[in-house]
Structure 1
Amino acid sequence: MKKQIFCLLILVSSLTEINLHATTLRHDLDLDGIPDIIDLSPLKIGKDQASKQKISIILSRGKNNTPGILESESGNIDVYPGTSAGELIIDYSVRSSRDSSELNYDVYQWSKMNETLCLHASVTGTPPNQLENELLPTDVKIRLFEDCSRVGAVPSRRIVMKSLPRLDDQKSWVANYMKRKIPEWIALELSARMSAPLMEDIKKIANYQANIGNPAGAAILYRSVIKINPKDSQVASSLAHIYNESGDIKNACAVYILLSKEGELDKDNKDHAAEMGCSH
C-alpha cells in the first residue's frame, strides 16, 4: 500500500529545557481503519535559542501534503490524537499559573474532499484553576473555519465562519453524541449552538455524558441550558451535583443561589446547599 509522508517543523521560542526523546503516536487520521504514525522529534539548537520540533506524519494512503511551520510565542506546544478517528489536536495552552494561564488549541479533522487534515475548530480561553478545584474553562471562545487550512498554514489566512453552520440532520448528530464520550471542544461547540429548539436534545446528550463519566462535558452542556432556562431545576441540580463532586463549591453554591432566586430550590437542594455552607 502506498504510504503518505509529510513533515512539519514546529518552531518554539523558549528558554526552558525541552525533552529530546522522540515520541511515536499511532492514530487513524485518514479514516481507513488503519493506525497512522505520528513521530515527534524535538531538536534542540542551543542554549537560550529557538528550538524546533520535527513532526513526521506517515499516512497509509493519499496524496502528498505541503509541509508547514507552527510557531508558539509562549514556548508551549503539544500534539496528540483526538478522541475519535480523523482528529489531531495541536495544543499551545499554558497551564502553569492563574496569572499566565491560557487555553489555546486547534482541532484538525480529516477531509475526504481535500485528502488531508483541515483545521476545523480553534478554542481559546482560560483553563480551570485546579488550585480552586474549578472544573470548567472560562471566557471560552470557539471558532470554526470554512476553508481547508492545512496543518502549518499561516494563521492570518484562516477563514473563520461568520456563523455556525446548520445541523441539517439533528437526529443523526444527537445519536452520534449519545454513543461516545465527547471531548471538551465538541461540548463547547454544542454549547455555542444552544437555542430553544435544540435544548431538549442537548439535555439528553448532557445526561448521557454525565452517566458515562464525562462530568466536564456534561457540565458545559448543562451550563448552556441554564442560560436559556434558569428555571430548569433538574438541569441546575445536576450541574450543582457535578460541581460539588469535583470540589468546586463556589460554582455549586452559585447554581443553588440561582435556583433560590428563581423559586426552584426544593428541600433536597436546600439541604445540599446548607451542607456546603452556601448563603442564599
Structure 2
Amino acid sequence: MQEAAHFIQSQTSLRPTTAVVLGSGLGAFAGALSNPLRIPYPAIPDFPVSTAIGHAGELLIGTLAGTLTDVIVMSGRFHLYEGYTARQVASGIRLFRELGVRRVVLTNAAGGINPQYATGALVLISDHINLQGANPLLGPDDGSGPRFPDMTEAYAPGLRAIARATASELGISLHEGVYAAVLGPSYETPAEIRYLKTIGADLVGMSTVAETIAANHLGIEVLAISCVTNLAAGLGAEKLDAAEVLEVGRRVSGTFLRLLSALLPKLR
C-alpha cells in the first residue's frame, strides 16, 4: 500500500489521524467535509473497486465542517461476497496505516436480532463473532504486526466510552451489542438467526470484522457503529430487501451525521 499512500499524500497537505468507513446507505456523512479531496477508488494504485449497492467507491480527505478536525473517509467498502479475499477486504485499513491513521470508525448496516433494537436504531459494537470463514491475516507472516493478535478488546473501550457520552449529550439513543459477521450475499434464514441469537449475537451483517481484525493487528484503534436497517429474518413480517436497507440508512443519516460530527473531534 506504500505506492497508494504516496499517491494520496501527493494530492493533499492534510494528514488525518482519524478515518471513517461508511456502510450501506450511510454515505451522506461525506457531505459533512469542507471542500474535500475526492479520489475514486479506480484511481488509487493497487486498490480494489467497490461494487456493492449504495457504496460510492471514493476516498475523501477533508476537514469536518465547523471544526479543525481532519478526516479521511472511505465512502464505500469491500466485501467477501464481491469475490475479494479477506486481505483485499481490509485494503483500506492497510492504506490507513501507511497514511498515519491511529483510529478508525467503522460503520455498517445490520440486521437486528436483539428484540430491543427497533429499525433505525444505532448500536455500538462491543464484540463480534466471525462466521465468515476468512481472516485477513491468513497466509505468510509479513511482520507488520503480531502473528497472533489479541482480540479481547477489539473495539477500543476508551473510544466506546467517548461515543456513549457523546450520544448521551446529544440525546441520541445508542445501544451496545455483539455483531455476527456472515459471508453473504444471501440473507440469513430464520433458522440461522435463531442460531445466532443462541450464541450471543445482537446484530448480523456481512462486513466490518475483517477490517477490525486487520486494524487490531496494525495497532489502529477501532470504534464500530451499526445502523439497524431491518429486523433479521423471521423476526418481522416483511421479506428482506436491499432497497429497504438503503432507504432506512438514508432516513437515519441525519441522526448518524449529528453523532459522528460531535464525536470525531473528541477522538484524539
Rg larger in structure: 1
Same fold by TM-score greater than 0.5: no
Structure with the larger RCO, 1 or 2 (CA within 8 Å, 6+ apart): 2
TM-score normalised according to structure 1 size? 0.28
TM-score normalised according to structure 2 size? 0.29
